[in-house]
Every structure is written in C-alpha cells, then in structure tokens.
Amino acid sequence: MRLDKYLADRGIGTRSEVKEIVRKGRVSVNGTVVKDSGAAVSEADSVSVDGKALGGIAELTKKHWFMLNKPAGTVSANSDERDATVIDIFGKEGLKGLFTVGRLDKDTEGLLLVCDDGEMSHYLLSPSRSVEKTYFARVDGLLATDAAERLSNGIEFKDFVSRPAKLEILSEDTDNNTCEVLVTVCEGRFHEVKRLIAAIGGNVTYLKRIAFGPLKLDAELKPGEYRTLTDEEIRALKAAVGKE
C-alpha cells in the first residue's frame, strides 16, 4: 500500500494534505523519516506521524462480521425514508461500508449476517454454492400430505422454479388448523419461504431465520441485539463456500 493512501485511510488528511505532511518530514516508517509519499508500506511496518504511532495496515484491511437477531419492523437496507434499517442498529460501531448478507423481509425475524466483506458475501449468496438457510415458521393451515416431497422436487411458479427445499413439520394443531414447521432453502428469492408454504396449502403468520449455512442463531441474542462472529465461525463460513 502507498504511504499516502495508508495515511489518508487512517484519517490523517486528504491525499493532498498527507503528501504535504510527508514532504515536511513529519512521518516515520520503522523509526526512519520518509519524505516520499509514494513509498510502499506493508503490514510489517510501523508508521508514526509527529512521533505518534498509528495502527497497523492489517487493522485497516480487517473485515468485520456480525450476527444480528433481526427484529421485525426493520428493513434490510442501508437507508430508508420510512422505516428503521438493519444498518441503523450498527451506528455505534462507527464502521463504514457495512451491509447485510442477503435480506430478510420487514416482518421476518432472526439470523442476519452483516459485514463489510464483499467477496465472501458474494460467495455465500451465490446459487452455485448452495448455502442453506433454515427458517422456523408458524402456519395457518395443515399442509398437504405430499408437501415435503413437493418441496424437494421444486415448485414451479410463474417467474421461477424453486430449487429443492426441505420441510420438517414440528407440530400440528388440528383443532385450530395450524402447524409449525422448519423450511430449509438454498437460494434467496423474494418472499420465497412464504411462497413455498402457500404452494403446499398454508399461510405463514410468523417467520424467523434460525440458521445460515453452518451458523445457528445465538440463543443469547434478543431481537435487535448482535455480536461479532468468532474466528471459528468465520472459518466455518469460508469452509462452507470452499474458501478455507
């Protein structure tokens, strides 16, 4: 990385301002004054301005990953004129460039990954990687007896044919004509889970994502709470898309 870019990324000033700072001999690399703003610096170098050490380059390039228990009523967007957004929740982190890995409907709760790692996000959402997402749903209506088989074979809609999905019926209440199910999909079509359930005879009244690939929603997270992913969890995500 160029020295002037590193200093600008550190908030020392604009590229033109840091060039002047360097020219005046106010910057040292590994204890030696450097006056060439185009000099290359690496993760192994220690950079100081006016004798004050700055953080390492590795910290600048570090990717940030969070697990959020998305609350109902928030939208999966960076900004919205009417509704609170998922990214609003992360305002106190003071990080630029955060975005959601995929989307959850406004009324859907549960596990949502938020990061600033565009490459990994692309892999996790790519249909070719077939990363599974599991949802818990409460449903009005008792599902067709061949519902699981139909989902596993794919459902044909007007605009697409769903990829094979998995259905597990957790409970049925015949008196109230309701049931609770788990649905696992490996794509992220708009309203897909709700549309799949409707195609097999039900109507989703509550939806919560409980797993994304190898990660399960942390039971300690209340709606609206989040935490940083552990190194182990990030490695598991990378392994899920073949990027170990």
Do 167 and 202 share a domain, yes or no? yes
Write down which residue in 21, 45, 60 finishes a domain.
60
Query: How many folded domains does the chain comprise?
Result: 3
CATH assignment of the domain containing 147 = 3.30.70.1560
**61 — pLDDT class (breaks 50, 70, 90):** low
**60 — pLDDT class (breaks 50, 70, 90):** low
Do 104 and 219 share a domain, yes or no? yes
Q: Are the CB atoms for 163 and 154 separated by under 8 Å? A: yes
Task: Tell me which amino acid residue 128 is.
Answer: S
Looking at per-residue pLDDT, the higher value among 37 and 95 belongs to 37
- The residue among 207, 200, 161 whose CA lies nearest residue 180 is 207
Maximum Cα interatomic distance, the chain, rounded to a whole number of Å: 81
CATH assignment of the domain containing 120 = 3.30.70.580
Residues facing residue 172 across a β-bridge = 179
pLDDT in tens, 134-182: 999 999 999 989 999 999 999 999 988 999 999 999 999 999 999 999 9
Do 12 and 109 share a domain, yes or no? no
Do 118 and 232 share a domain, yes or no? yes
Span 228-237, average pLDDT: 95
Range of the domain at 52: 3-60
With 70 as the cut, is the pLDDT of residue 58 above it? no
24-29 own/partner pairs: CB under 8 Å, 24+ apart: 26/50, 27/3, 29/3
Do 122 and 220 share a domain, yes or no? yes
d(CA 122, CA 61): 18
Residues involved in catalysis = 105
Q: What is the DSSP string of 125-149?
A: H-GGG---EEEEEEEESPPPTTHHH
Task: Tell me which amino acid residue 101 is.
Answer: V
Helix, strand or coil, per DSSP, at residue 171: strand
Write down which residue in 60, 83, 107 finishes a domain.
60
With 70 as the cut, is the pLDDT of residue 56 above it? no
d(CA 239, CA 131): 11
Do 139 and 183 share a domain, yes or no? yes
Do 141 and 203 share a domain, yes or no? yes
d(CA 210, CA 185): 12
d(CA 174, CA 74): 33
> By mean pLDDT, which of 75-84, 143-152, 197-206 is the weakest?
75-84
- How many C-beta atoms surround the C-beta of residue 48 within 10 A? 15
